[in-house]
Amino acid sequence: MSDHDLSADERTLLLAALDGPLVDRDAGSLGLCLRLCGRRLLQRAGSAAAANGWHGSPHAFVLTRDGWRLVKAERRRSPLRQVG
């Protein structure tokens, strides 16, 4: 994710967006979400998410295609956890 010079908090939000839309954010997290929207890594859920079957808040944030690519690339770079 270093391509975009993301902070640790921004990385955490992007990874959390893998689990589902980001909803009920506090003011600090909302600011980070809006900054990531400006970088086109997140977007408001809006009508696109509703068209895909999600019935939550249209004000939630979801990953964009660029956001998905960035998170997937980051996950591939991180070492796998070894068991045993």
| Residue pLDDT, tens place only, 66-84 | 999 998 887 777 555 556 5
**Domain locations in the chain as residue ranges:** 2-77
pLDDT at 35: 93
For the chain, the residue count is 84
Query: Position of tokens 């690339």?
Result: 73
For 39, counting Cβ atoms within 10 Å of its Cβ (0-12 exposed, 13-18 middle, 19+ buried), the class is middle
- pLDDT interval class at 21 (50, 70, 90): confident
Q: Select 2-77's CATH number: 3.40.309.10, 1.10.10.10, 3.40.50.10470, 2.160.20.10.
A: 1.10.10.10
Q: For all residues of the chain together, what is the average pLDDT?
A: 81
